[in-house]
């Protein structure tokens, strides 16, 4: 089926079904892009906040400043 044949059929669908089509197509595109980005057998670094003490300190200071500003 060509796109020219498909478009009128898509317009006939209910709003809910049109949203399902969008979700399906977005999911398919994501799968294809993800697969092409990852290589089998390769290891990838995963960043984690574990042991990120400097980041926790910065966040704590920002939260404290925000609290002070809200109380003022």
Annotated domain spans of the chain: 1-39
pLDDT per residue as tens digits for the range 18-50: 999 999 999 999 888 776 666 778 888 888 878
2 has pLDDT over 90: yes
The three state secondary structure string of the chain is CCHHHHHHHHHHCCHHHHHHHHHHHHHHHHHHHHHHHCCCCCCCCCCCCCCCHHHHHHHHHHHHHHHHHHHC
Which pLDDT does position 36 carry in this prediction? 63
- What mean pLDDT is predicted for residues 57-69? 92
Alpha-carbon distance of 5 to 61, in angstroms, equals 59
């Amino acid at each position: 089926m060509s796109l020219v044949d498909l478009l009128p059929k898509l317009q006939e669908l209910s709003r809910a079904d049109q949203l399902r089509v969008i979700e399906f197509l977005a999911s398919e595109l994501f799968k294809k892009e993800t697969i092409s980005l990852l290589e089998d057998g390769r290891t990838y670094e995963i960043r984690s906040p574990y042991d990120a003490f400097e980041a926790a300190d910065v966040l704590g200071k920002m939260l404290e400043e925000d609290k002070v500003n809200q109380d003022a």
